[in-house]
Structure 1
């Protein structure tokens, strides 16, 4: 059951007027709404305004009108607004975590961790807002001085996924606002409520109306295409699948729109013969099962050295068997539902493919009796390299084990993918781990830890996992353009 406090939070968002434009909620131009349901029970949470192209244009109107004032607002003022937003999110962490759990399904401990992580982007970028970049110097030939400065790129279109509805929004909104941009945000249709809550917090924190606008819709293609065809939109930042990213990059190319893409992953988790197995298992539990495995950074394929595979599998499997599965609001739940029936069907097909190729289910948790979109966490052994669950992103709570003995061979297997977002290496020899990590084709490598995300670090991938970086100083740079002045000094 959804707690009454969560029901009250949702009611206060007035999601039927869920086009948050120019500081006010309003219905979509066509007056349509769609249902958002609890993925654990199927219970209706809210009717949400279903926006269309006209709403997308109205959002750009508001962002463009607000850009002049916000871009010339003192960096300290912009930073203080973001700092206040961090304070408000932190103070309301339980309320926001429960909201995320209701619409996303993730267990409350995961939701609490997401709120803390999401809020931290506002604090980090509040500090980066007051550290503008620039330089001054003499040209090599003499006779001139060069002044380099940065300007906000303009109106930024942000498109975020359902798996981290707060953190993916704040990771984009924070640097955009710090740089002086205004934004139009399209959250995932499955999780619109958290985005509305974040927008309201920002305006309560002092961000002027029109600086942050939210368009909710079940037709994301129509919304984003409208934005990319609008001359006033100069930035697209997207987190989602590689397939959709390709489409958006093609559309952005027509107007040469500044683009950042954080796309799919297929993260390897490598356990060396000298690894601390207890530490490796603890890291594996986080890397694989955070958010029920529905994360782009989730460990997707486990390469365990033959000398330690028996010990690792036994301990990892025992932890999986003990995982409580259920609704986010049940005491002790560690694994909640997947986001949809489609997601469950996709993971089921990958597991069946592996079993048909000779893999075996070695361990699994106790199945839940709930009727929502659940998949029982499991560990697979004897998994062949050509299984779909190895070659494709699983995006769910299943861990396939692959045994290795030869370093060159396992490195080849690790890099044998079009993706390159996150990876993990566990070894008792730090020098070996770093040398191995340098050869891994991935934007981020966790060494002896199962988490790579940090607001102070550059988040992003290589190959078909994306373009650009979020977080750190790079996060602000993604929303600026460089300009220089050549000054006669003769």
Structure 2
């Protein structure tokens, strides 16, 4: 029986040895939740809502334990981990209510002896593949609407961070979610992904992760015409206009970029600043970044935790070196701290000035605390630079001119946009990308739709 170790990336300490799910075990769990689907979808929506709400309450009672689990297995600072638990739980609270709001409709027929009724029904068994960087939030953002809609769910967490999923599923069962409605499996995506896509009982795949993996899942899911929801790669730009509040722009950029040591899909990766204010902005951002403390996430003063592994560290280091070689100025940071024996990898929060489009960092998504600044001369140049890549997940801009703000919102090709706001995500709002950054939305009323099929009923022979 194969196993893998879950380690604390800040210390190298082994937290747990996890047994990999075999192909037979994964298929048995899919069969089990398929059997549970019939009963779960037939439950009164208010009953499902009450159970989901109980899950929310249990998470609230155990939030400190959950936050510590997240910090230990992902490395993010404890204060951020607690924020993630609260954010994750907001999705459960939201969809507990949305379970009672799955509305159909009637449509006037073209003949007087007919009635036309449109109904919504759950798609069936859902397989969800979640990333390591938000092990709680990415699970609840998928499971909560699925359960609310009447679907059953099999979760496959990242091998780096399975302990959060295990605890959350245990709490769901304690709340009254039947074991044949929500389950988890463990193992690499390369092994378990094909089991999900090939199994005809799985009716939907929901995935958060890289664009290449997402494309492969879409391709393989097409063989059995599964529903798919994909939240894929991003390379978020920030545009700082000449009239922006520099203090506010620098503060919000800091919030967007350096959360979870820059290891988020919507964090700022490219900053475009009007040439008239680029020096003032860079100086203010440098001042703020210089105050960030790196260290173990369990230590109260820590702002920046470790990178998740050597692969992540090597990419950040290579991008920094490439940018410096091509003329970028390192304003702050620029160095790593590695312990190969413990396998811990830290990188200083770093700001680069005078970035250009030839640099790797401006074209390849950075998952780390490394931020380049490039100047622009006019707003259309900034928009062109921001839109130049195939990604369209999140974008941010700072201006106090409503005309400029509305112009930017109309011309930026991104699914999530923050105007003077570096943290736009919320359970009640639809989240998802454009272009190669995804298919479908998570959050808000729109987040229920991917888990529902539409059925059309035409009733004839009525007396008139």
TM-score w.r.t. the length of structure 2 is 0.97
Aligned to 2:249, which of 267, 280, 294? 280
Task: Name the counterpart of 2:386.
Answer: 414
CA distance in 2, matches of 1:402, 1:141: 63
Instruction: Name the SS of the counterpart of 1:275 in structure 2.
Output: coil
1:246 corresponds to which of 207, 215, 221: 215
- Compute the displacement of 1:255 (Å): 0.7
Deviation (angstroms), 1:91: 1.7
| Structure 2 residue ranges without an equivalent (≥5) | none
Distance 1:446 1:141 in 2: 48
Q: Deviations over 1:231-282 (max 9, x none)?
A: 1110000100000001101100111101110000010001011111111111
Aligned pairs for 1:341-380 within 5 A: 341-364=310-333, 372-380=344-352
Asked if 1:337 corresponds to 2:309, the answer is no
* Partner of residue 113 from structure 2, selected from 143, 158, 162: 143
**8 Å contact kept, 2:336–2:345:** no
Structure 2 distance, partners of 1:355, 1:140, is 69
Residue 423 (structure 2) pairs with residue 423 (structure 1): no
Cα deviation 1:210-241 (Å, max 9, x = unaligned): 11110011x32221211211111100001000
Q: Deviations over 1:184-215 (max 9, x none)?
A: 11100000000000100111111111111100
Out of 198, 201, 207, the position equivalent to 1:229 is 198
Compare 129-138 and 176-185 and name the one that shifted more.
129-138
SS in 2 for 1:373: strand
**Structure 1 CA distance for aligned equivalents of residues 62 and 248 of structure 2:** 33
- Give the aligned partner of residue 386 of structure 1: 358
How big is the shift at 1:364? 2.2
Using the TM superposition, give the Cα deviation of residue 132 of structure 1 relative to its aligned residue in structure 2, in angstroms.
1.2
| CA deviation after TM superposition for structure 1 residue 347, in Å | 1.2
Are 2:100 and 1:130 equivalent residues in the alignment? yes
Is this contact kept in 2: 1:275–1:427, CA < 8 A?
yes
Using the TM superposition, give the Cα deviation of residue 92 of structure 1 relative to its aligned residue in structure 2, in angstroms.
1.4
Measured in 2, the distance between the counterparts of 1:204 and 1:431 equals: 52
Please report how far the alpha carbon of residue 52 of structure 1 lies from its aligned counterpart in structure 2 after TM superposition: 2.3
* Alignment partners' CA distance in 2, 1:368 and 1:318: 22
Equivalent of 2:141, from 149, 165, 171?
A: 171
Check the 8 A contact 1:325/1:367 in 2, yes or no.
no
Q: Which sits farther off after the overlay, 268-277 or 140-149? A: 140-149
Partner residue of 2:433 out of 461, 464, 475: 461
- SS class of match (1:204): helix
Structure 1 distance, partners of 2:334, 2:352, is: 12
| Alignment check: 8 A CA contact 2:121 2:453 kept | yes
Q: Which residue of 1 aligns with 2:410?
A: 438
Distance 2:149 2:66 in 1: 26
CA RMSD between the two structures: 1.3
Q: What is the alpha-carbon distance in structure 2 between the residues aligned to residue 451 and residue 32 of structure 1?
A: 40
Deviation at 1:409, TM superposition (A): 1.2
Number of aligned positions between the proteins: 459
User: Aligned partners of 2:10 and 2:334: how far apart in 1?
Assistant: 17
What residue number does 1:474 align with? 446
Output the CA distance in 1 between the equivalents of 2:255 and 2:72.
22
Distance 1:55 1:93 in 2: 30
Instruction: Report if aligned partners of 1:380, 1:401 keep a CA contact under 8 Å in 2.
Output: yes
The Cα of 1:141 is off from its aligned counterpart by: 4.3
> Secondary structure of 2:38's partner?
helix
- Contact 2:335-2:347 at 8 Å conserved across structures: no
Deviation, structure 1 residue 159: 0.4
CA pair 233-366 structure 1, distance change in 2 beyond 3 A: closer
Which residue number in structure 1 is paired with residue 274 of structure 2? 305
The CA distance in 2 between the partners of 1:418 and 1:386, in whole Å, is 16
Distance 1:309 1:180, change over 3 A: same
Query: Match of 1:314?
Result: 283
Task: For residue 435 of structure 1, report the CA deviation from its aligned partner.
Answer: 1.7
Instruction: Name whichever of 360-369 and 340-349 sits farther off.
Output: 360-369
Deviation at 1:140, TM superposition (A): 3.4
Unmatched 5+ stretches in structure 1: 1-30
Pick closer, same or farther for the CA change 1:357–1:215 going to 2, 3 Å.
Answer: same
How far apart, in 2, do the equivalents of 1:350 and 1:368 lie?
16
Q: Compared with structure 1, are the counterparts of its residues 367 and 330 closer, same or farther at alpha carbon in structure 2 (3 Å cutoff)?
A: farther
Q: What's the counterpart of residue 76 of structure 1? A: 46
* CA–CA separation in structure 2 for the residues paired with 1:331 and 1:209: 37
- Whether 1:55 aligns to 2:55 is no
Question: 3-state SS of the aligned residue for 1:374?
Answer: strand
Q: 2:424 aligns with which of 448, 452, 459?
A: 452
Q: Deviations over 1:50-103 (max 9, x none)?
A: 112112101101111111110101111111111111111112111111100000
Q: Distance in 1 between matches of 2:287 and 2:374?
A: 18
| TM-score normalised to structure 1 length | 0.92
